[in-house]
Amino acid sequence: MSNTIKADICVIGAGSGGLSVAAGAAQLGKNVVLLEGGKMGGDCLNYGCVPSKALIAAGNAAQKFRSPEKFGVTPQNPDINYEKVHDHIHSVIAEIEPHDSVERFEGLGVNVIQRYGEFEDPNTVRAGDTLIKAKRFIIATGSSPSVPPLPNIDKVPYLTNESIFDLKETPKHLIVIGGGPIGLELAQSYKRLGSAVTVIALGFLENEDPELKDILLKSLKKEGINFKENAAIKDILQNEKGININLETEVVTGSHLLIATGRKPNIEKLSLEKANVEFSKHGIKVGENLRTSNKSIYAIGDVTGWAGFTHKAGYDAGIIIRRIVFGMFWAKANYKALPHATYTSPPLAGVGLSEKEARAKHGDQITVLRWDFAENDRAKAMGIKDGLIKVITSKKGLILGVSIVGENADELLATWTLAINEGLKIGSMANVISPYPTLGEVSKRAASSYYTESLFSDRTKKIVKWLSFMG
């Protein structure tokens, strides 16, 4: 016999977005039920952002031993104990887990039910033997690795981001299928930790600015990562030598295979059709208000099928709190200043419109500003030669988008995210006083270049000459 409970808000999924809604609403006095059949913290804590950045940190630590000769330090090949790398990854997860735990959320007043949620009708969700009737439902079930129908893929062992962090030994030769951020981040990390690495994809970072992408790929190739671009996979087989990827012109043999070909929304268990919620294989359809086709049901984060970033899910959660807790019905999602980053070395990050997107929207009525890291004094002191910031503005100087590749690009992007979010013009960035010497000066120099042509024009020279006569 089913137990029925009533709530103000029922949150389905305990990833970053769902947890933010549940914690905020409960602390503001709402009766909140939270459903999670998997691990608290979702993909980010257990399989994504947290373990991958812990792995990247380990790879970066190893790399520091290999390339200090330019500073007068003798390089050496580090001794890698991958079992300890594994322990480091999982210790970081364990350190963060209490913040996302059942105990913490129950302490906040949330009714946590550790079962998957499935809609019974437009107003009811079943979680095991419990029926939940709520005024509002928030679907925050996230996404999972998408494995394409590659030939014989079901007959060979392969890894995804949900399993690779359980490895306790360094792969001898890691083959990565997929050229997106996840694939490249893990490829570089394992290369730095001692693996041979081959990356196979039809294209790499296809949504990024080609000029900046090429700088990153050149750096990865220099480290020894082998890239196979536009490589159609004919067959995948396993024998005593390992896993064989048969391409049109060659065979790549590796000890381990990682599939990093994108994500799919977690909607299979929800029975959305019973709730009159419109969806497709790409995700749940929502409007700017994050409401689904059922006015009582909202969807946030990865499950909407767009921009699968933890910070996007957190932003969506804030919109939900404003709308259904504070009654700010006018609150809508605006992603014009949604940043993204690939956490390789060097990192590649961007916010707003790319040059291609800006030209498609504004034609030639844009200005493109560039500044090389090689021209930055701090970069020279650090031995950094590669890096570029590209800023896109309107003809009147409104900042439309920024892309950065180079040391600390992900951190440098924050200021530009603020500028775009606040609708600032390039003059605001040009007037910033940056501490010297810092990498942050690349932002100021790029912004200041907007005025170079007019500042040193013949007209300006005439004005200066006239002023000298006056004074």
102: pLDDT strictly greater than 70: yes
30 Cα distance to chain centroid: 31
For domain 153-261, the question of CATH label 3.50.50.60 is answered with yes
Query: Quick one: pLDDT band at residue 455, thresholds 50, 70, 90?
Result: low
Which pairs count as long-range contacts for 145-151, CB under 8 Å and 24+ apart, including other chains?
145/259, 145/260, 145/261, 145/262, 145/263, 145/264, 146/261, 146/262, 146/263, 146/264, 147/259, 147/261, 148/259, 148/261, 150/177, 150/233, 150/236, 151/233, 151/234, 151/235, 151/236
**280-312: per-residue pLDDT in tens?**
999 999 999 999 999 999 999 999 998 889 999
253-274 confidence digits (pLDDT tens): 999 999 999 999 999 999 999 9
**pLDDT class of 72 with cuts at 50, 70, 90:** confident
User: Which residue type occupies 297?
Assistant: I
pTM of the predicted model as reported, rounded to 2 decimal places: 0.94
- In this structure, which topology does domain 3-40+101-145+264-325 adopt according to CATH? FAD/NAD(P)-binding domain (3.50.50)
Residues recorded for the chain: 471
* Residue 458 confidence (pLDDT) above 70: no
- Spell out the domain ranges in the chain: 3-40+101-145+264-325, 153-261, 340-455
Q: What is the pLDDT of residues 124-137, one digit of tens each?
A: 999 999 999 999 99
Q: Is the peptide bond before 437 cis (omega within 30 degrees of 0)?
A: yes
pLDDT digits (tens, 9 = 90+) for 331-369: 999 999 999 999 999 999 999 999 999 999 999 999 999
pLDDT at 454 (0 to 100):
62
Q: What is the spatial distance between Cα 410 and Cα 346, in angstroms, rounded to a whole number? A: 9
Domains 3-40+101-145+264-325 and 340-455 share a fold: no
Task: Note the pLDDT tens digit of each residue in 410-454.
Answer: 999 999 999 999 999 999 999 999 999 999 999 999 999 999 776
| 340-455 homologous superfamily | FAD/NAD-linked reductase, C-terminal dimerisation domain (3.30.390.30)
Predicted confidence at residue 73, as pLDDT, reads: 87
Give me 175's structure tokens.
């083959």
What single-letter DSSP state applies at residue 408?
Answer: T
Tell me the three state secondary structure of residue 105. Answer: helix
At 75, the pLDDT band (50, 70, 90 cuts) reads: confident
Residue 36 pLDDT more than 80? yes
